[in-house]
């Protein structure tokens, strides 16, 4: 339980992770207000969050780069803390549009930070990514692992992290929880919210869901000759509901801490592509035909977190299983074949 009810401004709350965080925040007793430009988020997701919790909350359709508009929302809502999900998230798209990624992710975050501080809000929870690490030197990856992002997306997250660390060093009233997510998957237990499918998904779990419902014929397993136990890529999958709960814990942490601190958010366990296929098949009773395809350029063999710092300092750890992730992803996918459309 949170120490007391807080006013929480959630940027990007209509997106995948943001929408799963809203019910957790409200169930912990917090008041929320969402800012989202709906460029990749969905008004229906917000409606469904209201339905899940049985409570209303405010929403402003706005771009985080619009300083005047964001300041106005902050003045009106008066947040105690901001959770900043809004941003662009595709590593491959960022290679084609590096300027756009810098503009939205870095400049957008800077404008938001300015508006927060001008409005008297000094606590921030920021969505970073394991993409800041690049190819791992050692496993599991701890927060002091060197950061060598390999895409403009990862670089944009690393740049925001640097700004937050520098600003918090200069201003001791500023507190920032920098959350580095590994591989968020799955959907809400209600089956009402989940990850909205792109045309053809690029991420593994949404792709598997599309194979399970017959929209795609088979999964391409990108490489089975890595130096991993079964040769396929190993990742740290984390249930989006566990991830959402970590934000409630991080918000509590910002109430009692100072400075900027990085936290890995993962289950701390490596799962291979073959493990995931098998677990999905057992959990859902669907067959997932696959073929082995060439390695995907830029992929690493293994990446998984040491989530010990989050457990010690945020008092949070992932609790849901890979089976829960597969079952919930399938329940959402089967019930909402067109996502929110
Ligand atoms: P998402 O695209 O589903 O959600 C992002 C939301 O931000 C969307 O609703 C979108 O409309 C909104 N948005 C984008 N640009 C905006 C702008 N300029 N102004 C206002 N709103 C804007 O993505 P997600 O998967 O929920 O990711 C949330 C955050 O977590 C992102 O910052 C992402 O980089 C980070 N992250 C995601 C993953 C992942 O695998 N999903 C992994 C690591 C980190
Ligand atoms: C997982 C594994 C693939 C698709 C990405 C971003 C990262 C972060 C999370 C934002 C790998 C294999 C995949 C397929 C496959 N996002 N795979 N066939 O690449 O670990 O991380 O999402 O911050 O920045 O890069 O996730 O789900 O794409 O891949 O075999 O059709 O599944 O090779 O081993 P990834 P993923």
> What is the helix (H) or strand (E) element at residue 329, kind and residue range?
helix 322-335
Spans of all domains in the chain: 7-189+237-268+302-320
Q: Which tens digit of pLDDT belongs to each residue from 67-98?
A: 999 999 999 999 999 999 999 999 999 999 99
Q: Distance, CA 2 to ligand 2 centroid (Å)?
A: 33
Q: How many Cα atoms sit within 13 Å of 219 on the Cβ side?
A: 26
Query: Is 153 one of the catalytic residues?
Result: yes
The dihedral through the CA atoms of 288, 293, 298, 300 has a sign that is positive
User: What pLDDT was estimated at residue 92?
Assistant: 94
Q: Ligand 2 in contact with 207 (CB < 6 A)?
A: yes
Q: Which tens digit of pLDDT belongs to each residue from 193-238?
A: 999 977 899 999 999 999 999 999 999 999 999 999 999 999 999 9
Q: Report whether 179 contacts 247 (CB < 8 A).
A: yes
Q: Ligand 2 in contact with 323 (CB < 6 A)?
A: no
Q: Ligand 2 in contact with 254 (CB < 6 A)?
A: no
Q: Which tens digit of pLDDT belongs to each residue from 140-187?
A: 999 999 999 999 999 999 999 999 999 999 999 999 999 999 999 999
Average pLDDT, the chain: 97
Helices marked H in 119-196: 152-170
The residue whose CA is least distant from atom 7 of ligand 2 is: 131
Model confidence at 2, in pLDDT bands (50, 70, 90)?
Answer: very low
Q: Is the pLDDT of residue 60 over 90?
A: yes
The residue whose CA is least distant from atom 11 of ligand 2 is: 233
Tell me the best of 11, 13, 16 to mutate to test the pocket of ligand 1, counting ligand atoms within 8 Å of each CB and taking the most: 16
Residue 88: how many CB atoms within 10 A of its CB?
19
CA distance 57 to 32: 6
Comparing CA positions, the residue from 219, 218, 233, 248 lying closest to residue 314 is: 248
Q: List, in order, residues 6 or more apart from 108 with CB less than 8 Å away.
A: 63, 64, 65, 86, 87
User: What pLDDT was estimated at residue 65?
Assistant: 97
Q: Is the pLDDT of residue 330 over 70?
A: yes
User: What pLDDT was estimated at residue 1?
Assistant: 42
Residue 13: how many CB atoms within 10 A of its CB?
28
CA distance 275 to 325: 13
CA distances from 169 to 163, 164, 165, 173 (A): 10, 8, 6, 9
Q: Ligand 2 in contact with 98 (CB < 6 A)?
A: no
As given in the structure block, the two tokens for residue 228 are 């991993």
User: What pLDDT was estimated at residue 199?
Assistant: 84
User: What pLDDT was estimated at residue 3?
Assistant: 55
Helices marked H in 102-203: 108-118, 152-170
User: What pLDDT was estimated at residue 262?
Assistant: 99
Q: Which tens digit of pLDDT belongs to each residue from 275-323?
A: 999 999 999 999 999 999 999 999 999 999 999 999 999 999 999 999 9
Q: Distance, CA 231 to ligand 1 centroid (Å)?
A: 31
CA distance 182 to 180: 7
Catalytic residue among 153, 181, 207, 226: 153
Q: Which tens digit of pLDDT belongs to each residue from 254-279?
A: 999 999 999 999 999 999 999 999 99
Which atom of ligand 2 approaches the CA of 293 most closely? Answer: 30
The strand pairing partners of 302, in sequence order, are 234
Q: Ligand 1 in contact with 86 (CB < 6 A)?
A: yes
CA distance 217 to 210: 9
The residue whose CA is least distant from atom 9 of ligand 2 is: 183
Which atom of ligand 2 approaches the CA of 183 most closely? Answer: 9
The residue to which tokens 């359709």 are assigned: 61
Which ligand does the CA of 85 lie closest to? 1
The residue whose CA is least distant from atom 33 of ligand 1 is: 89
Tell me the best of 147, 154, 296, 325 to mutate to test the pocket of ligand 2, counting ligand atoms within 8 Å of each CB and taking the most: 296
Q: Distance, CA 210 to ligand 2 centroid (Å)?
A: 15
- As a CATH number, domain 7-189+237-268+302-320 is 3.40.50.720
CA distance 231 to 236: 16
Q: Distance, CA 39 to ligand 1 centroid (Å)?
A: 10
User: What pLDDT was estimated at residue 80?
Assistant: 98
Q: List, in order, residues 6 or more apart from 106 with CB less than 8 Å away.
A: 156, 159, 160, 163
SS (H, E, C) 53-108: HCCCCEEEECCCCCHHHHHHHHHHHCCCEEEECCCCCCHHHHHHCHHHHHHHHHHH
Q: Report whether 327 contacts 283 (CB < 8 A).
A: yes
Comparing CA positions, the residue from 79, 36, 76 lying closest to residue 59 is: 36
Comparing CA positions, the residue from 130, 155, 134, 156 lying closest to residue 143 is: 130
């Amino acid at each position: 339980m949170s120490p007391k009810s807080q006013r929480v401004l959630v940027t990007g709350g209509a997106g995948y992770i943001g929408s799963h965080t809203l019910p957790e925040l409200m169930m912990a007793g917090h008041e929320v207000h969402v800012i989202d430009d709906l460029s990749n988020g969905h008004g229906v997701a917000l409606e469904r969050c209201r339905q899940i919790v049985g409570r209303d909350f405010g929403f402003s359709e706005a771009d985080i780069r619009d300083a005047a508009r964001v300041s106005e929302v902050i003045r009106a809502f008066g947040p105690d803390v901001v959770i900043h999900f809004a941003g662009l998230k595709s590593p491959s798209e960022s290679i084609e549009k590096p300027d756009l990624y810098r503009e939205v992710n870095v400049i957008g975050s800077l404008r938001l930070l300015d508006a927060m501080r001008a409005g008297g809000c000094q606590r921030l929870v920021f969505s970073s990514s394991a993409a800041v690490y690049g190819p791992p030197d050692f496993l599991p990856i701890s927060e002091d692992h060197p950061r060598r992002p390999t895409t403009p997306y990862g670089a944009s997250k690393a740049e925001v992290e640097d700004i937050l660390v520098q600003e918090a060093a200069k201003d001791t009233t500023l507190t920032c929880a920098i959350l580095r997510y590994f591989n968020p998957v799955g959907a809400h237990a209600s089956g009402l919210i989940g990850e909205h499918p792109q045309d053809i998904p690029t991420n593994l779990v949404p792709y598997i869901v599309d194979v399970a419902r017959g929209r795609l014929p088979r999964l391409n397993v990108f490489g089975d000759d890595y130096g991993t136990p079964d040769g396929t890529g190993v990742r740290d999958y984390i249930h989006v509901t566990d991830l959402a709960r970590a934000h409630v814990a991080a918000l509590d942490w910002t109430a009692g801490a100072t400075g900027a601190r990085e936290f890995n958010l993962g289950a701390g366990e490596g799962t291979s592509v073959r493990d995931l296929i098998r677990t999905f098949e057992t959990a859902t009773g669907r067959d997932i035909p696959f073929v082995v395809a060439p390695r995907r350029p830029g992929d690493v063999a293994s990446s998984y977190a040491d989530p010990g710092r989050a457990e010690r300092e945020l008092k949070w750890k992932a609790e849901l299983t890979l089976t829960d992730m597969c079952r919930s992803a399938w329940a959402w996918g089967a019930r909402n074949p067109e996502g929110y459309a």
